[in-house]
Structure 1
Amino acid sequence: MPPSTPHERLRAFGNHLVEIHLWLREELARLREGVDDPGVRSRDLRTHCLAFCAALTRHHTGEDAGAFRVLGERLPELAPVLRELEADHHIVADALRRVEELVGGTAPSDEVRAELDTLAALLETHFVYEEKKLVRALNGLTEGSTESLLGVPLPASQDG
C-alpha cells in the first residue's frame, strides 16, 4: 500500500527499494518455474526472460545513476558500500547475459535452470546487503521519485 501523504511518500524510498526487490524476486521465481513447466513454450520463456532482464537492468542502471549518486553526494561515508553494490551490478549484468544466451539458444532446461539458480542466489545476497546498508539512508531522502532514484516505478502502482 502506497504511503498516504506526500511527506510519507517522499520519505519512503528505502521502503520502495524493498518493494521493488520483492517484485523482482517474484518475477525471477516465476521465470524459474517456467523453465520446468512443460506447458511453457520456449518463446514464452524467452519473452518473460527478456522482460525480467530488462527490468532488472533498468533498476540497477537507475540506482547507479540515481540513488547511488545522490547518496554518495550526501553521505560520503557510504562510498565503499556504493562501490561494492555497483560492482555487484556488473556481476549481475554478466549473469543476465549468460541467462539470455541460454534461453535464446537451444540449451537444455537443466542448464538454464542452473544459471537461473545462480542468478537467484547472487541477487538474494545483493538485495539483502543493499537493503541492510541503504534503506535507512534512502528513507531520509526527500527529493526525487522512485523511478529517478531506483530505475523503475513501484510495481503495480504509479510513483509521481
Structure 2
Amino acid sequence: MHPDSTSADRLTALGHQLVEIHLWLLDELDQLRAGLAAGPDGSPGAERLRGLRTHCLSFCSALTRHHTGEDAGAFRVLADEAPELRPVLDKLSRDHRMVDWIVRRIEALVTAPPTDDPAAVDRVRVELEGLSAILASHFRYEERTLTAALDALGQRAGDTTALLGVTPPPDW
C-alpha cells in the first residue's frame, strides 16, 4: 500500500497491511541472518555480532510490538466481531508467547558480554534460523485465516498501529 494513502484506504485493506508488516519483518530477519554470514576470511567473529546488536534489538522490539498490538488490538476486535475466530485467535496468541520466548533468548545472546568464541555467533544464528522458520509458518497461517476478516472490519476497527502494533516503513 502506498504510504500516502488515506487512513480510510489503509483500514479498508487492513489484511493487506498485515501482509505488508509480515513481509517487512521477514525481510528484517533475513538481513539479520545475512549479517551473521562468515566474512571473507571464513570467520563470523564477535565483531560481526556486536555490529548486529542494534539491528537485532530493533527487530526484536518491532516484532514484540506487532504481536502485542495484535493481541491487544486486532484480536480483541475480531473476537467480538467474529466469535467463530476465537479458537484461531487463541492459537495465534499462544504462538506469540512462544515467539516472545525465542526473542528474549536472542536478546540475551546479543546483549551478553562480547566474546571471541565462534560458538556465540553460532548460537545466535541457530536462534535466528529457528525464529525465521516459526515466523514464516505463523505469518502464513495468520494471513490465511484472518485477512478477509480484517478487511471486513473496515473503518470501525481503529487505526493500523493500534490494531497491528506497527505499520510498515514508508518505503513499503
TM-score, structure 2 length as denominator?
Answer: 0.84
Q: Is 1:52 the counterpart of 2:64 in the alignment?
A: no
**1:155 partner amino acid:** P
Aligned partner of 2:166 in structure 1 is 152
**Shift in alpha-carbon separation, 1:25–1:34, aligned structure 2, 3 A:** same
Task: Give how far 1:156 is off.
Answer: 1.5
The 3-state SS of whatever aligns with 1:36 is coil
Report the Cα distance in structure 2 between the residues aligned to 1:5 and 1:62, rounded to whole angstroms. 21
Aligned length: 158
Once the two structures are superposed, what CA deviation does each residue of 1:77-131 show, in whole Å capped at 9, x if it has no partner?
Answer: 0000000000000000000011111222245212211111000011111000000
Aligned partner of 1:115 in structure 2 is 127
Aligned partner of 2:32 in structure 1 is 31
Report the Cα distance in structure 1 between the residues aligned to 2:101 and 2:6, rounded to whole angstroms. 40
Aligned residues of 2:10 and 2:160 also touching (Cα < 8 A)? no
Once the two structures are superposed, what CA deviation does each residue of 1:59-91 show, in whole Å capped at 9, x if it has no partner?
Answer: 000000000000000000000000000000000
Task: Give how far 1:37 is off.
Answer: 4.9
**2:138 partner amino acid:** H
Quick check: 127-136 or 147-156, which moved more?
A: 147-156
Instruction: Please identify the structure whose Cα radius of gyration is greater.
Output: 2
Aligned residues of 2:69 and 2:164 also touching (Cα < 8 A)? yes
Q: Is 1:128 the counterpart of 2:143 in the alignment?
A: no
**Shift in alpha-carbon separation, 1:50–1:137, aligned structure 2, 3 A:** same
Report the Cα distance in structure 1 between the residues aligned to 2:163 and 2:38, rounded to whole angstroms. 36
TM-score, structure 1 length as denominator?
Answer: 0.90
Aligned residues of 1:72 and 1:79 also touching (Cα < 8 A)? yes
Aligned partner of 1:67 in structure 2 is 74
Gaps of 5+ in 2: none
Task: Give how far 1:34 is off.
Answer: 1.0
- Identity of matched residues, %: 56
Cα RMSD (Å) of the superposition? 2.0
Task: Give how far 1:8 is off.
Answer: 3.3
Aligned residues of 2:36 and 2:48 also touching (Cα < 8 A)? no
Q: 1:92 aligns with which of 99, 105, 108?
A: 99
Aligned partner of 1:139 in structure 2 is 151
Task: Give how far 1:147 is off.
Answer: 0.2
